[in-house]
Amino acid sequence: MWLAELSERSGVPIPTIKYYRREGLLPPGETAATTRAHYDEGHLDRLRLIRALVGVAGMPIARVREVLAVVDDDAVPVAAAMGSAHVQLSPEPAREPSEASRARVAALLRARRWRARVDGRHARALAAALDAMDHAGAGMAEETLAAYAEAVTDVARADLASTTDLSRERAVERAVTGTLLGEPVLLALRRLAQEGLARRPARG
C-alpha cells in the first residue's frame, strides 16, 4: 500500500508517520520510485503498536525505541517482550512506599505465587496505593485485600488469554491497550456492581 493508505488504515497522520520513519521507529518501505515507497501489513502492525505506546500509554519516544528494540529481538520470548512494555505502565510512586505496605505486598506475592518483582514498578505502585488509603484513615483490611487479589487473578487470566495467537507486534500492542483501556471498564463495572448489590433487599 502507499503512504496515504497506510495513514488511513492506521489512523496516523502522514506527517506523524514521516516523523516516526525519521526517528527510526518505523522501517522504510520498499522504494517503488524516487519519491514513492510501498508499505505492507508489517508496517501497519508496527504503526499500530507505536500509536498504542505513544497515544494510549503516553510513552516518550526514547522509551518507545527501547520497547521496539525488544520486540525486534527474536531471541527475546514474546512474553518477555510484552513484559518490557507492560512494566512501563506503572509510574514511579511520588513518595517512597512505607515499609509496612511493601511487606504486605511481598507477603501477597508469596501467598498468590505471582512471579512479579517485589521491587518492581507494579509492586511499588500497589504499596503506594495502600499507603494512600492508610493516610486517609480508610486502610484496607487484610481480608478485603485478599478478596481483591483473588478477583484480579481471574481478570488477569482473561487478559492473558486474549493475547495468544497474535504476532509479536500485535501481542505487545494488546498488552498495552488491553491493560490501559480495560481499566476504565473494570472500574465502571466495580461501581456498577456496588450500586447493584447495595440495592438488593438482602445481601447474598
**Among 3, 61, 70, 114, contact with a second copy (rule: CB under 8 A):** 114
Answer for the pair 44, 17: CB distance below 8 angstroms, yes or no: no
User: Which x/- pattern, by CB under 8 A, does the window 56-95 give for a second copy?
Assistant: x----------------------x--xx--xx-xx-----
Please name the amino acid found at residue 193: A
The CA distance from 102 to 131, in Å, is 9
Task: Give, in degrees to the nearest 5, the angle at Cα 169 between 164 and 170.
Answer: 45
- Closer residue to a second copy (CB): 69 or 158: 158
Residues 142-171 that bind a second copy (CB under 8 A): 143-145, 147-162
Residues 9-38 that bind a second copy (CB under 8 A): none
**Which part of the chain contacts a second copy (CB under 8 A), choosing from 18-26, 28-36, 68-76, 138-146?**
138-146
Q: Is 177 in the site for a second copy (CB under 8 A)?
A: yes
Task: For residue 18, give Cα distances in angstroms to 5, 6, 48, 161.
Answer: 14, 11, 14, 35
Q: Is 203 in the site for a second copy (CB under 8 A)?
A: yes
Answer for the pair 67, 168: CB distance below 8 angstroms, yes or no: no
- Whose grid coordinates read 508469596? 110
- Minimum CB separation of residue 36 from a second copy in Å reads 27
SS3 state of residue 115: coil
- Minimum CB separation of residue 155 from a second copy in Å reads 5
Q: Is 106 in the site for a second copy (CB under 8 A)?
A: no
Answer for the pair 194, 101: CB distance below 8 angstroms, yes or no: no
**Among 94, 119, 200, 202, contact with a second copy (rule: CB under 8 A):** 200
